Structure 1
Amino acid sequence: MIDHASEMAAFVRVVDSRGFSAASSSLGLTPSAVSKLVTRLETRLGVRLLQRTTRALHLTAEGEVFHAAARRILAEIETLENQVSGQGSTPQGLLRVTTSLAFSTHQLTPVLPEFLARYPLVRLELLPTDRIVDMIEEGMDVALRIGRLADTSFMARKIGEDRRLICAAPSYLARHGAPGRPEDLARHNCILSRERGALNRWQFRIDGEILTIDVTGRLAVDEGELQLQLAVQGLGIVRLTRLTVAQAVRSGALVPLLDAFSADDPVAIHAVYPHRRHLAPRVTAFVNFLIEKFTPPPWEI
């Protein structure tokens, strides 16, 4: 009888490990045995899934489709086996999470040691990125999304809210002074977004009315973490999410400015995951852990 699951698992592990040697170690097989499983799979399907060179492996178009589907199937098999074997209530197995670079760096990474210590049978893969990840296509279990949720076909649990904060380093303020009112920004050097022009239009509430100011400056970058580092070095005034700047503000590296004039509405942060009839315990445990650690939000200043 052909063991389709073993072939599928070998193929997925080779892709995820980026090579046969690494995959063989985690599967407890020899590299040649793993290679035979993948070759047998390709022969049975009648298509090439991997382009092999001496230095790298590349998925073919068919391989990309098969890899995404195989991930989902293997996850369902693992969930089913855990339920039948009585281990369904124990968080275990591979948990794949994606979130923004800022949230990953400043909020999620610091609490992960506690989560992994609490659930020693869970393995974690973290994908920090500011692009919108197709959770199904890329096999993600949980995505932490900031802002409006576009896809209502997923489950979502709110873990907090965030707003932007204007701030600058004490060294910058010592040289240029602090703006007392939003209009004073016209004479200040602000750190700009290079491609997202809307982020360079800062809104304020003055006497019950909304005032929009197009700020200017000598530095323009797109990555929030780089904007943060430039601001800490005293190179200008920056407007970033509180979850990004909270630690720098608490340490005194940055000083909040003009917060009394803020017109920003709170933006929700959700843990998003696909609808599943039998949700893996590791997903439930992770989402509950996030709510525990981020209620109230540690980035509130």
Structure 2
Amino acid sequence: MDRLQNIEAFVRVAQTQSFAEAARQLRVSRSVITTRIKQLEEYVGAPLFHRSTRMVRLSEVGQAYLLDCTELVGRANDIVDQMRDVSHSLSGTLRIHALPGLVLGNFGVLHSFRSAYPDIRLDLIVSDAVIDPIKAGVDCALQIFPPATTELIARHLFSVRRVFCATPQYLQGHGTPKVPRDLHNHKLGLYSGYPTRDQWTFHHDSEEVTLYLKASLLTNSVHLLREYALDHAGIVCLPTLVAEDAILKGDLRIVLAEHLLSSFWLSAVYAATSRNAFKLRLFIEHISSKFSRIPPWDAALIERGILPSRLVEA
């Protein structure tokens, strides 16, 4: 019996609450997971789970030792990774969940990590969905939402600013908003995934104005919003990460530039006891080293006077 493999199987089943999902994440068959759990239960002389056709939940013994087992698996993987690093053969797979807005058009930072560590394979899942990294079986989620549980850690990477913008053609035909309330008179494209939902707070000098905006197009894709705006269909709210190139080219124009929206932090969210802790630390430190507090897409807009240098944090 490989005790460490069996303990890792126990940890994955506990985290995902599923034998099938644990098998998928560990790339083995479900029967292998079942056998490993059975062997471990026989060895400790107590059931680790209560099973039914609809759910899997920890037994009293399983609950008592889950944290210790999780830390043991994470530490074991960390030691192996460090041993590989010493021998110049750091390898394996990192599963990363990332927002499309970060990856599409900004792949260079990931490419430079691959160049620095060519034997580490990136398994990159690109989606606007909000996930729990543990249940999803990924090492890290690059997202704007704070951690959902105390089992997760968030490492801030850079701020994500948002601006309202439209094409010059749309503004010429429909007018340019002068104050936030003017947005009620326009067709709006809005992102559905912000933590603030339909509530939008604008900051101007020392005043705040909060509006509830109704969208003509509501979507979880900022790239679709960008296309909606470029088709002269309305005014959209985009992160500067996605809009900067079109703004600098003059294809999009920022409106209400002095009425600032709060920004969010793009963070690396991961389990406190990650099984790939050493490789993950290298990955996060590499990304952090590529960005300052003001990321390059914001710096370009600020330098040209298109975007105020002031930042309002959520």
User: Counterpart in 2 of 1:29?
Assistant: none
Contact 1:92 1:281 in 2 (8 A): no
| d(CA) in 2 for partners of 1:146, 1:197 | 9
Give the drift of 1:6: 9.1
Encode CA deviations 1:192-245: one digit per residue, 9 max, x unaligned. Answer: 457989644433235633223344454343432212210121100011222232
Q: Name the CA shift for 1:118/1:267 in 2 (closer, same or farther; >3 Å).
A: same
Instruction: Work out the CA distance in 1 between the residues paired with 2:237 and 2:296.
Output: 19
Amino acid at match of 2:247: V
Aligned partner letter, 1:115: F
C-alpha separation between the residues in 1 aligned to 2:193 and 2:279? 38
State the match for 2:249 in structure 1: 251
Cα 1:180–1:150 shift into 2, 3 Å: same
- SS in structure 2 at match of 1:137: helix
Who is 1:96 aligned against?
A: 95
1:61-99 alpha-carbon deviations (Å, 9 max, x no partner): 78xxxxxxxx99987655444445674776421111112
Residues 93-102 or 130-139, more deviating = 130-139
The correspondence for 2:174, drawn from 169, 173, 176, is 176
- Residues 203 and 273 (structure 1), Cα distance of their counterparts in 2 relative to 1, 3 Å cut: closer
Q: Percent identity?
A: 27
| 1:211 aligned counterpart, secondary structure | strand
Q: CA RMSD in A?
A: 4.4
Tell whether the 8 Å contact from 2:130 to 2:143 is kept in structure 1 after alignment. no
- Kindly provide the amino acid, as one letter, of the partner of residue 291 in structure 2: F
Residue aligning to 1:187: 185
1: distance between equivalents of 2:179 and 2:195?
Answer: 22
Label 1:272 to 1:88 Cα distance change in 2 as closer, same or farther (>3 A).
farther
Residue of structure 2 aligned with 1:293, choices 266, 283, 290? 290
Between the aligned partners of 1:75 and 1:140, the Cα distance in structure 2 is 14
1:153-174: per-residue Cα shift (whole Å, max 9, x none)? 4343221112221111122123
Query: What secondary structure is seen at the aligned counterpart in 2 of 1:179?
Result: coil
- List alignment gaps of at least 5 residues for structure 1: 24-33, 46-59, 63-70
| 2:136 partner SS | coil
Q: What is the alpha-carbon distance in structure 1 between the residues aligned to residue 259 and residue 125 of structure 2?
A: 36
Evaluate the alpha carbon distance shift between residue 198 and residue 156 of structure 1 in structure 2; reply closer, same or farther with a 3 A threshold: closer
Q: Is the 8 A contact 1:6 1:37 kept in 2?
A: no
SS in structure 2 at match of 1:136: helix
2:73–2:275 contact (8 Å) kept in structure 1: no
SS in 1 for 2:169: helix
CA distance in 2, matches of 1:204, 1:85: 50
SS of the counterpart of 1:299?
helix
Match of 1:275 in 2: 272
Change over 3 Å in CA distance of 1:163–1:209 after alignment to 2: same
- Separation in 1, partners of 2:246, 2:209: 28
- 2:288 is paired with a residue whose SS is helix
SS at match of 1:183: helix
| Number of the residue aligned with 1:67 | none
Across the two proteins, how many residue pairs are aligned to each other?
271
Which consecutive unaligned segments of at least 5 residues does structure 2 have?
A: 10-19, 42-53, 57-69, 302-314
Q: Cα–Cα, structure 1 residues 235 and 112, in superposed 2: closer, same or farther, change >3 Å?
A: same
Q: 1:225–1:281: structure 2 CA closer, same or farther, 3 Å change rule?
A: same
Change (3 A) 1:113 1:205: closer
SS at match of 1:202: strand
